[in-house]
Amino acid sequence: MSARDDFGHGTHTASTAVGVPVSLDDGSGDTMRGGAPKARLAIYKAYVISISLGNIVTDGHPTFLQDCNAIAVLHAFQNGVVVSSAADREYGFARNINQMTGYANLVVAKDAAIGNAYIDRASSCNDADSLDYNLIYGKIVGGVGVIVIDGAGTKEIGLSYDIPLATITPSEGEKLFAYMKSSNRPFAIILRTSVQQPTQHEPTVAYFSSRGPGSAPGIIKPDLAAPGRNILAAWPPFEKARADSIFYDIMSGTSMATPHVTGVAALLKALYPHWSPAEIKSALMTTAYNLDNSKKPIQTDSGNVIATPYDIGSGLLNPNAALDPGLVYDFDMEDIVSYLCSSAVGITQRTLQGLLGYQIECSNNSQLPHYDLNYPLIEVSNLRNKTISVYRTVTYRGKYGDPTDFQVEIENPKGVSIQVKPSTLSFQRDGSKATFRVDITPLQPLNKDVFGSYTWFNNVHRVRSPVAVQTQNTHF
């Protein structure tokens, strides 16, 4: 088995993560590069360890212990390896993410008319009756351009073809067909692609991104979002599917978003080699953007719908802020084992010992409440008419390590009260730790998921943690 890429996907994602700087040939003088261009890249082709998650969800306990990919990620975490994973493209269906625990960074990215042949409906050109027989009989039909009618109606996913191509919506397609029927010699001109300035409410969550919640109790999934739509990156010139030789191509998908996170994680690992995978993960998550370019909450691309943590996790990757996070949430294998031993997860001691290869103890005293894993986000399931107290510990990772105080800012979920005690954390040096309690209290019966956040801040840093509350109807 060769590690040489004959499909293009691996080259594209690898160059996004670690590609060296190259100059664009559009006359702008601009350059582009990957996230960590000085990193050393080792290429392995191993289909059985693909970190692209599907929608394997079953009733009852999660199935990740039977998933070789999840087990591989667990052992990578155990050995200090940072892993980024794509949430599979399931076109926005909720509750389809099967990433069990917090080992990995879980990231969230037709029909055509050819030539001058008449098409009487929006169908594939490969259909036997999609072209007018009287026009094509005895002729060689060659494509000089392609117009794709995007069934999703977005026009936002770039496609790369060997011939000129334009994408239109279904409503625009109806107008096109009406024009074609009204003229004896219909014609179209596909103009050269132009660069458009960002509009209001950018970025948005792509329709193809999978949504949460995940199947792990107490852990919000996905973790964060990153650019995944129309990503230009390197391409193997010998890739079999193309007739010409190209060195760069545009692709869309969660696979394109993941290497953006991987590149920043590589920079963090180089800058802070002593940090654990959980600390790097925390730095990426707690510094993420949750506002768009108009300073409003990030929306989904379905229009005027505010994205929740089950759409974007902590928010959009913010590389510069991640390099100086201020505070991080750390956890290790002992915490993971305690979490997996909890009754909410339901993994037996014998199963865990076989998986990890060493003796563990799943006693009642060692079990961690599933919502107390020291994760940068909080999810409380089945909140009833009582207060639940969640504990977290943060480590001070200021850029200069000077003494500082952090204050807390709270955004309450609808119908739920959040209190953080203490409301001020003091640190004397880099590596100092502080533990606090988050009290979550329902104020009224709710039958839907609600979301809020708490943010630790000083005059330099803002460390934000979303909170998701899954409530049940109760009598107050």
423-436 pLDDT, tens digit per residue, is 999 999 999 999 99
Task: Determine which of 43-47, 128-132, 229-233, 355-359 has the lowest per-residue pLDDT on average.
Answer: 43-47
State which of 141, 163, 195 marks the end of a domain.
Answer: 195
Residue 343 resides in a domain: no
Domain range enclosing 34: 9-105+201-323
Residues 387 and 467 in one domain: yes
Residue 228 resides in a domain: yes
User: How confident is the model at residue 392, as a pLDDT?
Assistant: 97
Residues 283 and 314 in one domain: yes
391 vs 361, higher pLDDT: 391
Q: How is 104-137 classified by DSSP, letter by letter?
A: EEEE---EEEETT---SSS--TTSTTSS-HHHHT
Task: Determine which of 98-102, 121-125, 234-238 has the lowest per-residue pLDDT on average.
Answer: 121-125
Residues 17 and 31 in one domain: yes
Residues 431 and 447 in one domain: yes
User: How confident is the model at residue 44, as a pLDDT?
Assistant: 59
Residues 208 and 313 in one domain: yes
State which of 160, 195, 230 marks the end of a domain.
Answer: 195
The CATH number for 276's domain is 3.40.50.200
Alpha helix stretches (DSSP H) within 342-418? 349-356
Neighbours of 130 (CB within 10 A): 19
Residue 468 resides in a domain: yes
Does position 50 have pLDDT exceeding 50, yes or no?
Answer: no
State which of 172, 195, 218 marks the end of a domain.
Answer: 195
Residue 65 resides in a domain: yes
Name the band, by pLDDT with cuts 50, 70 and 90, for residue 376.
very high
**Total structural domains in the chain?**
3
The CATH number for 379's domain is 2.60.40.2310
Q: Rounded distance, CA 104 to CA 51, Å?
A: 9
Residues 261 and 319 in one domain: yes
Q: Closest Cα partner for 216 from 328, 339, 105, 331?
A: 339
Is-contact 341 366, C-beta < 8 A? yes
Q: At what angle do helices 9-18 and 254-271 cross, to 10 degrees?
A: 30
52-109 pLDDT, tens digit per residue, is 444 444 444 445 566 677 777 787 788 787 777 776 533 333 333 444 344 455 655 4
Residues 274 and 378 in one domain: no
Residues 425 and 279 in one domain: no
373 vs 103, higher pLDDT: 373
User: How confident is the model at residue 154, as a pLDDT?
Assistant: 55
Residues 76 and 218 in one domain: yes
Arithmetic mean of pLDDT, 451-472: 92
252-266 pLDDT, tens digit per residue, is 888 888 888 888 988
86-99 pLDDT, tens digit per residue, is 765 333 333 334 44
